[in-house]
Amino acid sequence: MSLVVEGLSKQYAKRIQALKQVTFQVNEGECIGIVGESGSGKSTLARILLGLDTYKEGKIRFNDRAIAPRKRSDLRQYRKSVQMVFQDATSTLNPKLPIWKSLLEPLDNFKEVTPSFFSEGSLSRKEMAEELLELVGLDKEMVDRYPDELSGGQKQRVSIARAISIEPSLLVCDEPTASLDVTVQVQILRLLKELQQKSNMTILFISHDIRAVSFLCERLIVLKSGSIVDQFQLSDIYHEERHPYTKALIQAAAI
């Protein structure tokens, strides 16, 4: 897996420049964090990376192939490799579907994928959903429940299980813990860490919370008003060379 973003800019309306010349690279097996305040362009970047939004300026290459906006056939292949976990699990789970049906959506879309983590090849669909739940530390009894019968943290685990079900090589998480209370946030971060260590999955973790990012990620990118102002290894977080904005984030978070 390799993802290269080069000179990516995004303009919405005439004067809203959400991203300015964003350049970075993500390597196989890495857990990379993008941190920045509200409005800094984090979700715009995530949506563009997922092919959910277009861009006119810049280049995105995934495994040395260009991700061209609006090219459907390429996009399907890409979606198989790149999955996303959103901030609000409630809006990503269909309230009318039992959990097991929502969980199996990606596997239904990509029937050619046989995940390596299933205990055997001949599982029924419901058994697959049960194994996915267990993978993220949820009770398999939950397969028959509906989203509104789950807590926020449980729903977020379901979203994570769904995203990793097709074993994406890259998982993009956009503020996956922002709507959860602190103890559940920590549980979700631990889960992501554990899943990453087990599967060598690459994670791009987006958050306004430098504390969460530095818990999970070994490399950090700091975004401010659409521009990357700092990029460093976690071990260099307290280095004096850090950008004043990074220092301010660290100070505000008291880490």
CB of 237 to ligand ATP, least distance (A): 20
Q: Is 18 in the site for ligand ATP (CB under 6 A)?
A: yes
Contact between 19 and 60 (Cβ < 8 Å): no
20 binds ligand ATP, rule: CB under 6 A: no
Tokens 């959103």 found at: 86
Query: Which of 14, 38, 141, 240: binder of ligand ATP (CB under 6 A)?
Result: 38
Closest C-alpha to 216, from 206, 227, 225? 206
Q: Of these partners, ligand ATP, Mg ion, none, which one is at the site of residue 254 (CB under 5 to 8 Å by kind)?
A: none
Decide: is 116 part of the binding site for ligand ATP (CB under 6 A).
no
| 179-208 core/surface letters (b: 16 or more CB in 10 A; e: else) | bbeeebbebbbebbeebbeebebbbbbbbb
Alpha carbons 219 and 204: distance in angstroms, whole number: 10
Task: Mark residues 7-46: x for contact with Mg ion by CB under 5 A, - for none.
Answer: -----------------------------------xx---
Q: How far is CA 243 from the centre of its chain?
A: 25
* Contact residue for ligand ATP among 5, 22, 24, 44 (CB under 6 A): 44
Report the partner that residue 147 touches, choosing among ligand ATP, Mg ion, none (CB closer than 5 to 8 A by kind). none
- Name which position in 7, 12, 182, 194 contacts ligand ATP (CB under 6 A): 12
Complex with ligand ATP: residue 113 or 253, whichever CB lies closer: 253
Please say which residue, 187 or 225, places its beta carbon nearer to ligand ATP.
225
Residue whose CB is less far from ligand ATP, 41 or 147: 41
Contact region with ligand ATP (CB under 6 A), list: 39-47, 106-114, 117-125, 182-190: 39-47
Length of the chain: 255
83 binds ligand ATP (CB under 6 A): no
3-state secondary structure of 219: strand
CA angle 207, 80, 156 (to 5 degrees): 40
Q: Name the β-bridge partners of 92.
A: none
Contacting ligand ATP (CB under 6 A), which of 20, 162, 208, 242?
Answer: 208
Using CB under 6 A as the binding rule, the residues of this chain from 148 to 167 that contact ligand ATP are none
Phi, psi of 111 (to 5 degrees): -65, -20
For the sheet containing 219-224, what is the strand order? 82-85, 170-174, 202-207, 31-35, 219-224, 227-233
Report angle CA 62, 216, 159 to the nearest 5 degrees: 70
Q: Is 177 in the site for ligand ATP (CB under 6 A)?
A: no
- Interface residues with ligand ATP (CB under 6 A) are 12-13, 16, 18, 36, 38-44, 208
- Interface residues with Mg ion (CB under 5 A) are 42-43
